[in-house]
Amino acid sequence: MAVTEGSFIKLRFTGLSDGIVFDTTEADKAKEADIFNEKKVYEPIIVRLGGMHVIPGLDEVLIGKEVGEKGTVEIPPEKAYGPRDESLMKSASVKNFGEKPHVGMRISSEGQEGVVASVVGKRAVVDFNHVLAGKTLTYEYEIEAAVEEPKEQVQGLINLYSGKDMDLDLTDGVLTILLPPGINYDKRWGMARGILMHQIFEFISGIDEIVLKESYKRPAAPEEAEEIEEAEVSPAPEEADESSEPEESSEE
């Protein structure tokens, strides 16, 4: 079965720049490339073709391919992360940094992420280009399956935007998402929640209402510590009373 624009698919991939792996869904390849992240779940991702969930060049290649198909494709910068823009190289006084800047240091400024490219005297140059801007990329891919069940499609979008699994219920057009405790303090979730709601309505049919539900359970009472019976301790031998006088010896 060929997949088309609008299809949800389960996708495996490995992205390389200059022959070096920078992203992958495979744990073994991440370990080999020394980019393994213990907090990341390495498994196929669920994306909607045409939904801007992968870079444009890869999206275009996947449309029309068969489920189960594998391949390798080279993607030029204009269909990946764009060409480098020299206007995104910004100079700033080292006094503007919270700590002494050094080459390779990542910073955030006015909603932009950048990397310190050089430090000369009292000035630092920060590169706000995407780290892969201007690069021709190679992607190895496999379309593992088509995803047609609405709840699985929703879960795929949630994972894509939040990196988390959430409990779902879809009944009579009402989608209820049980939010993990504390997620509203998660910056990534705060930024992605709006677009996630929009894409669920736009991309998945049969959903008329979304309910975000928070639930907190009373913490379990701590188990009572078992009383430790004191071991019987034998009293120390009585010491001789130094104040007592020795018995008088009888004289003959």
**Coil, helix or strand at residue 139:** strand
Taking the C-alpha atoms of residue 81 and residue 54, their distance in angstroms, rounded to an integer, is: 11
- Tokens describing residue 28: 């073994």
- C-alpha separations of 69 from 4, 38, 55, 56 in Å: 14, 29, 19, 19
pLDDT per residue as tens, the chain (252 positions) = 899 999 999 999 999 999 999 999 999 999 999 999 998 999 999 999 999 999 999 999 999 999 999 999 999 999 999 999 999 999 999 999 989 999 999 998 887 899 999 999 999 999 999 999 999 999 999 999 999 999 999 999 999 999 989 999 999 999 999 999 889 889 899 999 999 999 999 999 999 999 999 888 888 887 765 555 555 545 555 544 444 444 444 444
Taking the C-alpha atoms of residue 128 and residue 242, their distance in angstroms, rounded to an integer, is: 86
Instruction: Name the DSSP letter for residue 79.
Output: G
Taking the C-alpha atoms of residue 10 and residue 62, their distance in angstroms, rounded to an integer, is: 11
Q: Are 152 and 45 in contact (CB under 8 A)?
A: no
Taking the C-alpha atoms of residue 238 and residue 4, their distance in angstroms, rounded to an integer, is: 94
Domains of the chain: 1-83+132-148 (3.10.50.40), 86-127 (2.40.10), 149-217 (3.30.70.2210)
**Coil, helix or strand at residue 81:** coil
Assessment of whether the complete model's pTM goes beyond 0.85: no
| Torsion over CA: 188, 118, 31, 141 (sign) | positive
